[in-house]
């Protein structure tokens, strides 16, 4: 009888011990996973903070980079203008392009692409000068002091009214506008060879191209 009681008691103690160990193990495993999840959460949080810091740093650097690029582009553009003979603006519309092509055709039909481009550049040099009107149309249609025209093809019955631009005129315009070609030396006037001596007497001769002589005002080269 006593042996049976002792056996039951020992069995009960074993059961309690096993249950206690199980509870301890379950608790330990739970704490382990909780700790792991906590560490993982901290790592994720730290990673998110690091990413946000990198984004803020990158965004803060963008305006500076853009500003530096804009300054560099501006300086580069200024250098290009200076190297290309000081051409200040190529901003004109289709109508003005047609007028440039037409006056080049009327004045220099047989002078090739560069000869036509030089006539266009005389018009543009006047537009860019403070001595003449400020638009292509006004320069081409400017009157002289005696009621005539600055460009002889516009005289009554002149070539202005009978010619249309050809492919060379379009190439000449592209040469100036796209390739920034300018060999005009700032010429403000030109004349056909042998037509008059007024230009030679009153202006500064610059150079000859084909049948045209190019000039500027004397005070501009003194």
* Residues 115/212, Cβ–Cβ less than 8 Å: yes
Please enumerate in sequence order all residues whose Cβ is within 8 A of that of 186, keeping only pairs 6 or more positions apart, or say none.
85, 86, 125, 206, 216, 220
Local structure of 50: helix, strand or coil: helix
* Residues 138/154, Cβ–Cβ less than 8 Å: no
Q: What is the pLDDT of residue 113?
A: 98
Q: How far is CA 134 from CA 89, 127, 129, 213, in A?
A: 12, 5, 8, 24
Q: What is the pLDDT of residue 24?
A: 46
Q: What is the pLDDT of residue 75?
A: 46
Could you list the mean pLDDT of each consecutive 10-residue stretch along the chain, which spans 222 residues? Answer: 50 54 47 50 65 59 49 44 48 92 96 97 96 95 91 93 96 95 96 79 94 93 74
Q: How far is CA 51 from CA 37, 58, 59, in A?
A: 21, 11, 12
Q: What is the pLDDT of residue 18?
A: 57
H or E stretch at 94 = helix 94-108
Phi-psi region of 102 (alpha: psi -120 to 50; beta: other; left: phi over 0): alpha
């Amino acid at each position: 009888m006593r042996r049976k009681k002792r056996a039951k008691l020992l069995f009960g103690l074993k059961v309690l011990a096993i249950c206690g160990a199980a509870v301890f193990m379950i608790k330990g495993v739970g704490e382990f996973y909780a700790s792991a999840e906590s560490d993982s959460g901290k790592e994720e949080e730290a990673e998110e903070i690091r990413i946000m810091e990198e984004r803020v740093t990158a965004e803060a650097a963008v305006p500076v980079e853009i500003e530096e690029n804009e300054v560099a582009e501006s300086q580069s553009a200024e250098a290009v203008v200076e190297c290309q003979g000081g051409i200040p603006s190529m901003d004109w519309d289709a109508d003005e392009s047609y007028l440039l092509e037409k006056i080049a055709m009327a004045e220099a039909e047989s002078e090739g692409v560069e000869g036509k481009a030089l006539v266009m550049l005389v018009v543009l040099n006047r537009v860019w000068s403070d001595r003449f009107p400020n638009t292509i149309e006004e320069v081409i249609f400017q009157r002289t002091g005696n009621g005539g025209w600055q460009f002889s093809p516009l005289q009554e019955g002149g070539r202005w009214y009978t010619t249309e631009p050809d492919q060379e005129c379009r190439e000449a315009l592209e040469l100036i506008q796209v390739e920034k070609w300018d060999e005009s030396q700032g010429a403000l006037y030109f004349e056909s060879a042998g037509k008059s001596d007024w230009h030679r007497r009153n202006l500064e001769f610059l150079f000859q191209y084909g049948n045209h002589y190019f000039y500027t005002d004397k005070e501009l080269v003194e």
